Structure 1
Amino acid sequence: MKTTSSHGLHHLHTASLCTPYLLLVPLGLLALLLALPSLGSSHARSQGLGVLCRGAAGTDGGGGYHSVAPTGADEKKASVVADADAETPPRPQPDLSLLVGVLTMPSRRERRDIVRMAYALQPPASAARVDVRFVFCNVTDPVDAALVAVEARRHGDIVVLDCAENMNDGKTHAYLSNVPRLFASSPYDYVMKTDDDTYLRVAALVEELRGKPRHDVYLGYGFPVGDDPMPFMHGMGYVVSWDVARWVSTNQDILRHNDTHGPEDLLLGKWLNIGGRGKNRYDLKPRMYDLNWFMDNFRPDTIAVHLLKDNRRWAATFKYFNVTAGINLSHLP
């Protein structure tokens, strides 16, 4: 009350020092009415924040790329509703749902912006719910922490796992282990792990998944070893069904035997092989592949192309897949 009173007196001072204090009551009510709209909008924006693993059980991950509802679609629909009492037909349920986790590091902000554009400029996958999240371990650097917090507030597509940042020391296990808990309220049919140097064509992957089982699936670029055509999948990107991710999250033998240290994509195949999981395996070669040195091996039926380690390679990829077609830089508004 002391703050409110001094604020009211400051405005009343120019009129008269003898004005009765009762005038503060209507002024306080007016201030409250003015503040309510801004408080409401702040609350609405907060719903789009990314998931923080610690204490985030039961959340659905906030905002980010969502193929069912393109950016601004809901607002456009709302603007054309003239009658508040008119019945709105229910949105059709998607035939398939996919979570894409892009494993990255806090310092790679420019790369994440490129990858976001790569997803945002693609057409939505038909009758599918596809959500993309960028996955970190704990952000310990104070500069990175501040910038990642802003990024999460702006885009709503950040997932922070409770682990030390690493490449071959348990991050993939942490991701697959946390997904069933973090997204328990709205589970997916499939969970994907991919990297921030992979260009994934979402609609092509969805069409490949559409005719597949929803149980015990392990799909990607198969890596042959001896007589086994695909004991594990290449790390550029692979998909497991929800039940497989849930099995990884509850399998204590993996942690008991300290079996998360080493080449993580190979280790995932090892866990599944020992546990008899992921029996429905699908090799997507040659539609998933590494981009070669000369960048001349693109395929029109690509599902994912890997090794986009610099902006030059991303630019070549966008050009090949007509992402920039029709954009004339000299005539931009």
Structure 2
Amino acid sequence: MECKSYHEKKGIHSGKLWSWPSVRIFVGIWSTAKNTAIRNLIRTLYSKQKKDLIDDKVDFKFILGKSSDNDMSMLIAENDTFGDIVILDVKENMNNGKAYYYWQWVGINIKTTEYDHAAKTDDDSFVHFQNMALNLRPLPRDYLYYGHIIKYKKKIAFARGLLQVLSLNYVYPFVSIPFNEKEWNGPEDVKLGAWLDKYTNSTLNQFNEDCLMIHDPRVPVHRPIWRQWASPHTIVIHWLKDINAWRSVVDFHFGKDYN
């Protein structure tokens, strides 16, 4: 079955995306204290991607919660070296509030004078910065909720957690609306979709990218975003659980000389 991107379905070929104005994106990469080696690989790859961008701007930081004293000491030392780690004011978790505190941090720290959108991804997801930026160029700078969007129990539409992109005016309500554990106890991507539906429903504007966001097809699990393999236009590949999986993706997109 042919897979078409959001823009291809609208009759816009990928080559035409260059004609739209450039975008500025902040990317928060969820990580945990133990994943030092993966962070180092991502730093190298993503720093090179930043330099190779044409007109667009993409910045990133690693997002973690609080952990043991020993882990915190190591993370502080790592951040002293690289300056790219954010420790949220919540105990490290995936599905019990980290999403709220991440988006709240974005609302406080990421400004419209510097960025158009903010994104969330994980340290087992490869994000192709230029492809992401190009596909965001024609889309609205306000009231945007972008990702591979499906429905939870045929009710709540949400963007899967491998990559979620929000315009900043969807992020700022996190600053003023207090944390409610009942709203965030469960799958973080589902809960984000439900929260946005509850608090921004009158403006909620979803853009579904179901072709260019995939799971690593070498993982033997068949899900709705399973593909035979990536294309040169793929935005994100999920489930890269070790260094070798990451390196093979880098080789595919950039060639072995990029390592």
Shared fold (TM-score, shorter chain, > 0.5): yes
Verify the 8 A CA contact 1:137 1:165 in the aligned structure 2: yes
1:312 to 235, 244, 248: 244
Question: In 2, distance between residues paired with 1:199 and 1:326?
Answer: 14
Q: Which ranges of structure 1 fall in alignment gaps of 5 or more residues?
A: 1-93, 328-333
> Cα distance 1:292–1:95, how it changes in 2: closer, same or farther (>3 A)?
closer
After TM superposition, the structure 1 = structure 2 runs for residues 46-125 of structure 1, keeping only pairs within 5 Å, are 95-122=22-49, 123-125=51-53
Question: In 1, distance between residues paired with 2:253 and 2:193?
Answer: 32
Whether 2:54 is the aligned partner of 1:126: answer yes
Deviations 1:253-311 (A, max 9, x none): xx346311111100110111122066221111110110122695122211101000112
Question: In 2, distance between residues paired with 1:169 and 1:294?
Answer: 26
Deviations 1:131-188 (A, max 9, x none): 100011124332x223212221221111111100101110011000111212359552
Question: In 1, distance between residues paired with 2:160 and 2:188?
Answer: 10
Q: By how many angstroms is 1:203 displaced?
A: 0.8
Whether 2:204 is the aligned partner of 1:279: answer yes
Partner of 2:79: 152
2:96 to 169, 172, 195: 169
Partner of 1:15: none
After TM superposition, the structure 1 = structure 2 runs for residues 1-333 of structure 1, keeping only pairs within 5 Å, are 95-122=22-49, 123-142=51-70, 144-184=71-111, 187-225=114-152, 231-252=157-178, 255-256=179-180, 258-275=182-199, 276=201, 279-293=204-218, 297-325=229-257
Name the count of aligned residue pairs. 230
TM-score by length of 2: 0.81
Q: Which amino acid aligns with 1:217?
A: L
TM-score by length of 1: 0.64
> Cα distance 1:256–1:321, how it changes in 2: closer, same or farther (>3 A)?
closer
Q: Give 3-state SS (helix, strand or coil) of 1:213's partner.
A: coil
- Identify the range of structure 1 (197-206 vs 216-225) with the bigger mean alpha-carbon deviation: 216-225
| Higher Rg | 1
Q: Which ranges of structure 2 fall in alignment gaps of 5 or more residues?
A: 1-20, 221-227
Verify the 8 A CA contact 1:187 1:242 in the aligned structure 2: no
- Percent identity between matched residues is 27
Question: In 2, distance between residues paired with 1:136 and 1:257?
Answer: 19
How big is the alpha-carbon RMSD for the aligned residues of Structure 1 and Structure 2? Answer: 2.3
Question: In 2, distance between residues paired with 1:186 and 1:135?
Answer: 22
Verify the 8 A CA contact 2:22 2:133 in the aligned structure 1: no
> Cα distance 1:161–1:277, how it changes in 2: closer, same or farther (>3 A)?
farther
Question: In 1, distance between residues paired with 2:163 and 2:175?
Answer: 19
